[in-house]
Amino acid sequence: MTMMFKRAVLAGAIAAVVGSVSAEAEAGDMRIAFGDLPGIESIQTLAAIERAKERGVNVELIVLNDEDLAAQAIVGGQADVGIGAPYTLIQKVGVPIRIFAQISTLRFFPVVNSEFYKDWKDLDGQEVAVQARGSGTEAVMVMMAEKHGIKLGNISYVPGSEVRRNALLQGTLKASIVDAANRRALEAEAPGKFIVLPVEDLGASDEAVFATVEYLENNAADVDMLVEELLKTGREITENPAAAVELRNKYKLLPDLGAEADKEIEEYYKETAEAGALALNGGGAEAAADDFAFFSLSGQLEGDPASLKVEDFWHLAALDRALAKLGKK
């Protein structure tokens, strides 16, 4: 995509966001744009937000279903904090935002319909579906295609891991990428129908929080409370995965899933905890280095990773204050 076209896409998407966010979103201390459809993998983040509310931060959650739109909502002034990993937008489009804490690292699973594909080589020239342009899901697919010497066909953007899972089950998608919860659901709902393609361990950011430097500096007290609660919640769930169920029930999170989801939630977070996927120390400069290496290899960032500067992508002040208060794990 050319730079001019990227800027045109950005401008158009911002206009779309303006129309999609209600007038009420102008009120409140912290408007958080969630760049995905919240699912069980979002419980840590949603619980941390509720805990920040308990401490007096007036949070409004705006679900935009797309990582790009979350970043663009920040730029357009329709939201204050975004959730995602907006490295591509920061570098290639020049979006004036900075990451201030990592929530979790990548744990994605490329899945193919076994009637059509068996391995990575079979995807040469074939269509695949990912979360969004510049997302971690796209980065994983591009990186693995390069590693296996293939060229993917059309890449379509389908927000929501659960949406992609349902499309795989219905046969409208034959190759996509899902999170751990939806991988487990595919295995349970259609045993043997799908093959999970191998991916090496990934240490790059899946979800992080970001905002403009101006917002971070002008609202330091609120930002500090959010970062502290993200760290405390991630640590609590990692130590005891059953805490995710307790938090879900305490704050009435994801009520549409019903009580039957509690078992799946605990199993998901047990697997997540064992993988060390929740960021117990919020990422910081070490996470930035991992992200530079991963997103450069996958083509989402340009230039030598060693030449990229943390301060061009991250604002570490709030995280440093939180770690000074809570200590490191």
CATH number for the domain harbouring residue 122: 3.40.190.10
Which pLDDT score is estimated for 23? 34
- Residue 211's nearest CA partner among 231, 226, 195, 229 is 226
For 192, counting Cβ atoms within 10 Å of its Cβ (0-12 exposed, 13-18 middle, 19+ buried), the class is: exposed
For 198, counting Cβ atoms within 10 Å of its Cβ (0-12 exposed, 13-18 middle, 19+ buried), the class is: exposed
Are residues 117 and 256 both part of a single domain?
Answer: no
Last residue of a domain, one of 196, 220, 250: 196
Average pLDDT over residues 192-216: 91
Are residues 191 and 96 both part of a single domain?
Answer: no
pLDDT digits (tens, 9 = 90+) for 36-58: 788 888 999 999 999 999 999 99
For 103, counting Cβ atoms within 10 Å of its Cβ (0-12 exposed, 13-18 middle, 19+ buried), the class is: buried
pLDDT band at 201 (very low <50, low <70, confident <90, very high): low
The three-class DSSP label of residue 39 is coil
Last residue of a domain, one of 162, 196, 230: 196
pLDDT digits (tens, 9 = 90+) for 166-181: 999 999 999 999 988 8
Are residues 151 and 291 both part of a single domain?
Answer: no
Are residues 240 and 96 both part of a single domain?
Answer: yes
Are residues 247 and 178 both part of a single domain?
Answer: no
Are residues 157 and 216 both part of a single domain?
Answer: no
Out of 61-75, 155-169, 299-313, which region has the weakest mean confidence (pLDDT)? 61-75
Which pLDDT score is estimated for 93? 77
Are residues 100 and 113 both part of a single domain?
Answer: no
pLDDT digits (tens, 9 = 90+) for 238-296: 999 999 999 999 999 999 988 889 998 999 999 999 989 999 999 999 999 999 998 88
Are residues 212 and 313 both part of a single domain?
Answer: yes
Are residues 115 and 99 both part of a single domain?
Answer: no
Are residues 148 and 44 both part of a single domain?
Answer: no
Please enumerate in sequence order all residues whose Cβ is within 8 A of that of 156, keeping only pairs 6 or more positions apart, or say none: 127, 128, 129, 130
| Cα separation values, 251 from 50, 77, 307, Å | 7, 28, 44
Whole-number Å distance between alpha carbons of 122 and 152? 10
Helices (H) and strands (E) in the chain, counts: 13, 10
- With a cut of 50, say whether residue 2 has pLDDT above it: no
Are residues 182 and 278 both part of a single domain?
Answer: no
Last residue of a domain, one of 196, 217, 233: 196
Are residues 232 and 114 both part of a single domain?
Answer: no
pLDDT band at 64 (very low <50, low <70, confident <90, very high): confident
Q: Is the pTM of this model over 0.85?
A: no
Which pLDDT score is estimated for 45? 96
Domain range enclosing 226: 3-106+204-326
| Tally of structural domains, the chain | 2
Which pLDDT score is estimated for 52? 96
